[in-house]
Structure 1
């Protein structure tokens, strides 16, 4: 998706996927869940640096939050929320 593209509405999304084979929807759900798992893992790795409980790799003070890690962790948490919403839309609440 380009940086200037806007997400489609849930109604348009539902219309767009209704003709897809069920196997394609199952695959999409699995891919989204895999992506969410990777983001969750990445956030766990970033947390000590974002909280300032670990020293940055290039040196620096532990006890001082790394702003880059903090920003990245926030971006990833937002992305997880978006992907979870997409997962719910893909499986239609059926929890495939």
Structure 2
């Protein structure tokens, strides 16, 4: 199959296929917050930092990087890993289902 045929199958210019791949990648790199929890987002990697917002139940987060902070015990065990989900926004990894007890993203 030629490149031109691939474009025809994807909808003419390939934009639909590229968009589908981008959406799939974004979904694969986001992680669910533990079911039944509204999660505090803090300004730094620890419980001593101020709450900047609260994630509603059923939220998913994209983890930019991870850093050690205060220990927290949550539904996924005890952890001192904090996930950066935005500029000045951190959540405890003990409430995020990453499928790992360790780091799943680069260190901040």
- Asked whether the two chains share a fold, i.e. TM above 0.5, the reply is no
Bigger relative contact order, structure 1 or 2 (CA pairs below 8 A, ≥6 apart): 1
Q: Which has the higher helix share?
A: 1
Q: Which has the higher strand share?
A: 2
TM-score, length-normalised on structure 2? 0.26
TM-score, length-normalised on structure 1? 0.28
